[in-house]
Structure 1
Amino acid sequence: MPSREAKKPADAAKRFSPRPVLRPRQQVEEQITQAILSGEFAQGEKLPPESQLADLFEVSRPTVHLALEALAESGLIRKVPGTSGGSFVNSVTHEGLSTQLSESLATTLRLGTLHLGELTAVREILEIPSASLAATHHRTHQLDILHSVLDKQRHTDTSDPEVPALDRQFHSTIAEASGNRFLAALVTSVHSTSQPVSFLRLSEDVGRETVRQHTAILRAVEKGDSAAASEEMAKHLEFVKHNSFTDSGERGSAC
């Protein structure tokens, strides 16, 4: 018995260590986060009302409200107003991730802490590899979408308001065809936020050449030629860069 009791302090020292005491709001955030990440709350499930959470955590309702606001800003939950609303666990999909990234990037641009040129320069880093991967990972339905987009682009005037959406759909679908959903989310968010067509000096000649280049990218992807797909995407992005202007009228730095 004496020998066993002598071991207890050493065992306890391995299990316990000093930890900073969390503020009430931090405790609420941490426990709700853990409950969501551990699966105790399913995607799309509604959290208990603020008043009930305040009772459970033994904190004030404003404390719970601030904690939920922080979780909403982080994208873990969404807050729906109205009598039938409340706080719901976000459904985490790559499409949802793309939306969250786009919103965050748009806010960063508005605040001026990130320049558009920095954002659009990333397109080469993301889209050239995505075209290469699309050549070996594409699915039939993705090729069908790309052909449909190209057909609309061929018959759409450059002044048509649908031009930016068609361009975004083409590049997003190429990225989705890469088979990497995270890469697809990044490409879509950057393209949606930077809106390169809005900086493109769109003439009939530029419009026709853009469609021709999109067609060349698609042909390389269909053939499964990764090298050609990369090369054609690189040519296209360089063409877009050369024929683009910033809002100050400078060539080439918009995209």
Structure 2
Amino acid sequence: MSSSTADAVRFSAVPVQRPRQQVENQLRRAILDGTIPEGTRLPSETNLAESFGVSRATIREALRSLIEGGLLERGATTTSGLHVQSVDHRALSRIVSDRLGSILDVGSITPEEIASFRDLLEIPSARLAAHNRTPANLEQLHNIIDEERAVTYDDPSVPELNARFHVEIANATGNRVLASFVAALHRTAHPLAFVNTDAELGRVAVTHHIKLYKAIKAKDAEDATHQMRSHLDYLREHALASRAEASMVHRLPTVLL
């Protein structure tokens, strides 16, 4: 009776993972498969170190990687610990926001670059929104416009309302990646920060939003594209005027009274 052998089977060495990688991989799998649900607070570093049988330094390295990957977020205080974050398109938006925020802090990006990037994102968003919007999207846009019409141009809520309107248009495209980038742009770059708002700009901006809403509601992609382009061009002109005015003030000689 002959016996078979496994001589022809090829095996390859599997590298042994470092303790940090083992910890990170196990936590990542638990988050991604829902074993640790969104919003859950992780145990302390000490408790995790005991559970995994590794040092606190190893736990700290693994957690840092998961934070950078957008799966964990620190609480508002030093004692609130780490919480599991969503792993859908909202996580992508947070990651983009964090990276963009760091670059903006360095000051290596110009307002012109932000405006150009906004054109690349939001003009196509208006077109896609006209094709794909749902009744729920239209309701959200209508409600935001109602809120905008109820406040004055200098109300602190104006920038937030503006961001919500543009993000909702991006949501209406049905493309969650696009919506993530638009949300990140408004959350981090704050496009209105480059514009000196006044009563006239507030009135015109709301009028533009109404026209955009009507075009999207009518599923008129061409008009929606035109309205968004006109809106962004108008804001860009005001931003340029704001910077020119600030430059003139900066150059004025000091007058001794």
Q: Same fold (TM over 0.5)?
A: yes
1-structure distance, mates of 2:47, 2:8: 42
Task: Tell whether the 8 Å contact from 2:70 to 2:91 is kept in structure 1 after alignment.
Answer: no
Q: Which amino acid in 2 is paired with 1:177?
A: A
**For this pair of structures, how many residues does the alignment match?**
245
- Deviations 1:104-163 (CA, angstroms, capped at 9, x unpaired): 321221134544433332111111121112112222233233223323434433222222
Aligned residue runs from structure 1 range 78-117, under 5 A: 78-80=73-75, 86-117=81-112
1:245 equivalent among 237, 240, 245:
240
1-structure distance, mates of 2:35, 2:100: 31
Task: Tell whether the 8 Å contact from 1:135 to 1:224 is kept in structure 2 after alignment.
Answer: yes
Task: Tell whether the 8 Å contact from 2:41 to 2:82 is kept in structure 1 after alignment.
Answer: yes
Q: Which moved more, 1:124-133 or 1:192-201?
A: 192-201
Are positions 1:125 and 2:123 aligned together? no
Q: Sort the Cα spacing of 1:87 and 1:164 in 2 relative to 1 into closer, same or farther, 3 A.
A: closer
Q: Which residue of 2 aligns with 1:23?
A: 18
Give the superposition deviation at 1:41: 3.1
Q: Which residue of 1 aligns with 2:4?
A: 4
1:35 equivalent among 21, 25, 30:
30
RMSD: 3.0
Q: Secondary structure at the match of 1:172?
A: helix
Q: Secondary structure at the match of 1:78?
A: strand
2-structure distance, mates of 1:96, 1:31: 19
Q: Secondary structure at the match of 1:41?
A: coil
- Deviations 1:200-252 (CA, angstroms, capped at 9, x unpaired): 2334333332222222111111111112111211111112112213985489x
2:176 equivalent among 178, 181, 189:
181
Q: Which residue of 1 aligns with 2:212?
A: 217
What TM-score comes out, normalization by structure 2 length? 0.79
Are positions 1:69 and 2:64 aligned together? yes
Q: Secondary structure at the match of 2:54?
A: coil
Q: Which moved more, 1:128-137 or 1:238-247?
A: 238-247
1-structure distance, mates of 2:14, 2:91: 39
1-structure distance, mates of 2:147, 2:31: 43
What TM-score comes out, normalization by structure 1 length? 0.80
Q: Sort the Cα spacing of 1:192 and 1:39 in 2 relative to 1 into closer, same or farther, 3 A.
A: closer
Are positions 1:199 and 2:197 aligned together? no
Q: Which amino acid in 1 is paired with 2:66?
A: L
Identity %: 38
Q: Sort the Cα spacing of 1:9 and 1:141 in 2 relative to 1 into closer, same or farther, 3 A.
A: same
Q: Sort the Cα spacing of 1:240 and 1:82 in 2 relative to 1 into closer, same or farther, 3 A.
A: closer
2-structure distance, mates of 1:237, 1:137: 22
Q: Which moved more, 1:166-175 or 1:147-156?
A: 147-156
Q: Which amino acid in 2 is paired with 1:10?
A: A
Q: Which runs of 5+ in 1 are unaligned?
A: none
Q: Which runs of 5+ in 2 are unaligned?
A: 247-257
Give the superposition deviation at 1:47: 4.2
